[in-house]
Amino acid sequence: MLNCAETAAVLRNWDNILVLSHASPDGDTLGSACALMRGLLALGKRARFACADTIAPKYGYLFDGMPQEDFAPEHVMTVDVADLSLLGGLREQFEGRIELAVDHHGTHVPFAPQRWVEPHSAATTELVFLLLQELGVGPDRAIADCIYTGLTTDTGCFRYRSVTPRTHRIAAEVIEWGADAGEINRVMFESKSKAQVEAERIVLDGMEFFCGGKCAMVRVPRSVYETTGAADSDLDGVATLPRQIEGVVIGVTLKEKENGEVKASVRTNLPADSARLCARFGGGGHKGAAGCSFPGITMEKAAAQMTAACEDYLRELNLL
Amino acid sequence: MLNCAETAAVLRNWDNILVLSHASPDGDTLGSACALMRGLLALGKRARFACADTIAPKYGYLFDGMPQEDFAPEHVMTVDVADLSLLGGLREQFEGRIELAVDHHGTHVPFAPQRWVEPHSAATTELVFLLLQELGVGPDRAIADCIYTGLTTDTGCFRYRSVTPRTHRIAAEVIEWGADAGEINRVMFESKSKAQVEAERIVLDGMEFFCGGKCAMVRVPRSVYETTGAADSDLDGVATLPRQIEGVVIGVTLKEKENGEVKASVRTNLPADSARLCARFGGGGHKGAAGCSFPGITMEKAAAQMTAACEDYLRELNLL
Ligand SMILES: [Mn+2]
Ligand SMILES: [Mn+2]
């Protein structure tokens, strides 16, 4: 396991670097990759990016004005990737070639010979910020936007328990560098299409409670997208809603994916631990937020398995 | 107009201080009052609190363990009060007796001979934090909770454009003092009763769009509370929702109050200015969030007046 200075030393010796984000990319994995690439480019190195899935248009500004040169990479690294499986369609191509991983997941499964993993960091961009400082990269507005994006999206806008004084201090720094925090938050948290509002309404209308109101579950079948015209990512925000209801300890959102797979997003209040619950199904994440997949079974069956697991877990915690 | 050091000098010479919050008290006015009183008590002074309205139970922790001594005040001051009218039922009693005002509203109408008003402060607790430092009050977990409460509630959890590097740095400091940020955010932003969820759903179902989708309006008639059992404050969060819809520049929420008065909460995206729009009806607030009242008219008429004002204002901004 490396520390920040050691990770910087590795990068200082590298050139022609490929940075990988996890599949279904979020603001933290993309913000980390783009901030890091911008820093490496500023140091005169060549860096490029790859991700298994397409980038949602709302993240486009992270890449703005960054030259996308094609080259055969000498070195491959990942940011915000907790496990090889999260590389999605890129796994096969890069398995065994990844030399360095920078991540903040407590559930990180080591896959790179060199890695800097800090589970107490609220976002991977927090680590990337420290790394860029170590590398001597100076204040830069575009880097600031990338760092801020990871901080705010991974913490629900500084809301979660994962936020530390350091998270706030880095936010202060990058706002000073010129990060457009207000606009980034508007785009990430306060911008919904009418289709999205309609889809959320349908989904929330069907919210189910069980375990005496300690668990709440919403289901997002494919039909919701067809009825409303909402896109898949339009319902990302729904996952946080079941947990918000008074008395709910475990909030579960089940989404039917295009390939038929059912994905669960779990959000918990203390003392429950989302990552521990999701681990029962081979998933992972953080204490307050985690996920897992149910490949090859119906929504109905996934819901039944998840319900049973919640009940069992609440009993384990002496909450039932 | 005083600065921080001068305000501290005033307080150093005072004792037996009454601190007033504004009516319909929010997290910032209560957090400011409680943090300040705790600081004054720590300095060996007597301080007590008054507010025209009752305090919602969710704010109870701000007052926990604070001695509430009754005494005839020698000095009266306000925190987070932009205008005398916002003292509500206490106005008559204290008009002309208020010696000091600490506030962050750009629309502050001077009513106290001595005042420290910083419109670029995201919350009044930001100013109170600086004041307590100036007064030499040391780290304290209860004060930290009060300061953090004002910061997070007045900024939608660090989301709004009003947030500056200083806001984040103070958040970092008070988390180090022991502020229970995760729990405060959960209580303030992520805790809804089923009645509240149901009431929000009814209200949002009736959202109306006008000015070609640039304005969105929701109405909260008294009947919603009767149907769902939700309390008045349960629908506070609704005000932020209309503005979040793609293309909406002005979001308006009209609430029918128990006394029949209609209150408007306005939230705007750039370039619109909520305070300027509300000023047309004698109201005020901040650029992104403001409010005004329509006493003695029906919801229907208030909606018509507000709609006309929005249209007129959007024309003025060349957005229509
Ligand atoms: Mn992350
Ligand atoms: Mn305030």
A166 pLDDT more than 80: yes
Please state the rounded mean pLDDT for residues B43-70.
94
A152 Cα to the center of ligand 2, angstroms: 22
B261 pLDDT more than 80: yes
Q: How far is B228 from chain A (nearest CA, A)?
A: 15
The pTM (predicted TM-score) of the whole model is: 0.85
Neighboring chain B residues of A186 at a CB cutoff of 8 Å: 269
Please state the rounded mean pLDDT for residues A37-52.
97
Which one of B158, B166, B167 makes the best mutation probe of the A interface by having the most chain A beta carbons within 10 Å? B158
Please state the rounded mean pLDDT for residues B81-100.
95
Sorting pLDDT into bands at 50, 70 and 90, what band is A206?
confident
Neighboring chain B residues of A238 at a CB cutoff of 8 Å: none
Please state the rounded mean pLDDT for residues B82-96.
95
Strand partners, B256: B262
Sorting pLDDT into bands at 50, 70 and 90, what band is A286?
confident
pLDDT of A69: 85
Please state the rounded mean pLDDT for residues B282-292.
90
Please state the rounded mean pLDDT for residues A284-302.
91
How much is the mean pLDDT over chain A?
Answer: 94
Between chains, do B182 and A173 touch, taking CB under 8 Å as contact? no
pLDDT tens digits, one per residue of A58-115: 999 999 999 888 999 999 999 999 999 999 999 999 999 999 999 999 989 999 999 9
User: ipTM, 2 decimals?
Assistant: 0.84
Please state the rounded mean pLDDT for residues A216-240.
88
Could you write out the three-class secondary structure of chain A?
CCCHHHHHHHHHCCCCEEEECCCCCCHHHHHHHHHHHHHHHHCCCCEEEECCCCCCHHHHHHHCCCCCCCCCCCEEEEECCCCHHHHHHHHHHHCCCEEEEEECCCCCCCCCCEEEECCCCCCHHHHHHHHHHHCCCCCCHHHHHHHHHHHHHHCCCCCCCCCCHHHHHHHHHHHHHCCCHHHHHHHHHCCECHHHHHHHHHHHHCCEEECCCCEEEEEECHHHHHHHCCCHHHHHHHHHCHHHECCCCEEEEEEECCCCCEEEEEEECCCCCHHHHHHCCCCEECCCEEEEEECCCCHHHHHHHHHHHHHHHHHHCCCC
Sorting pLDDT into bands at 50, 70 and 90, what band is A10?
very high
Between chains, do B192 and A240 touch, taking CB under 8 Å as contact? no
Between chains, do B163 and A181 touch, taking CB under 8 Å as contact? yes
**CB-closest option in A156, A171, A190 to B244:** A190
Neighboring chain B residues of A169 at a CB cutoff of 8 Å: 168-169, 172
Between chains, do B205 and A204 touch, taking CB under 8 Å as contact? no
A99 Cα to the center of ligand 2, angstroms: 50
A238 Cα to the center of ligand 2, angstroms: 29
Find out whether A244 and B190 touch, Cβ atoms under 8 Å: yes
Q: How far is A246 from chain B (nearest CA, A)?
A: 5
Rounded to an integer, what distance in angstroms lies between the CA atom of residue B20 and that of residue A27?
A: 42
Rounded to an integer, what distance in angstroms lies between the CA atom of residue B82 and that of residue B88?
A: 12
Please state the rounded mean pLDDT for residues B217-226.
93
Between chains, do A168 and B169 touch, taking CB under 8 Å as contact? yes
Structural domains of chain A in order of their starting residue, each with its CATH number: 4-189 (3.90.1640.10), 194-316 (3.10.310.30)
pLDDT of B135: 98
Number of H helices, E strands in chain B: 11, 11
How much is the mean pLDDT over chain B?
Answer: 94
**CB-closest option in A176, A182, A194 to B161:** A182
Sorting pLDDT into bands at 50, 70 and 90, what band is A159?
very high
pLDDT of A180: 97
pLDDT tens digits, one per residue of A231-263: 887 888 788 889 988 889 999 999 998 888 999
How distant, in Å, are the alpha carbons of B222, B260, B303 from that of B298? 12, 8, 9
- Name residues whose C-beta falls within 8 Å of residue A163's C-beta, 6 or more positions apart in sequence: A122, A155, B175, B181, B182
B122 pLDDT more than 90: yes
**CB-closest option in A169, A181, A244 to B191:** A244
Which one of A152, A166, A168, A187 makes the best mutation probe of the B interface by having the most chain B beta carbons within 10 Å? A168
B300 pLDDT more than 90: yes
B76 pLDDT more than 90: yes
Which one of A129, A149, A175, A190 makes the best mutation probe of the B interface by having the most chain B beta carbons within 10 Å? A190
pLDDT tens digits, one per residue of B134-180: 999 999 999 999 999 999 999 999 998 899 999 999 999 999 999 99
Neighboring chain B residues of A164 at a CB cutoff of 8 Å: 175
Residue closest to B162 by CA, chosen among B34, B41, B75, B273: B273
- Beta strands, E only, chain B: 17-20, 47-50, 75-79, 98-103, 114-117, 208-210, 215-220, 250-256, 262-268, 284-285, 289-294
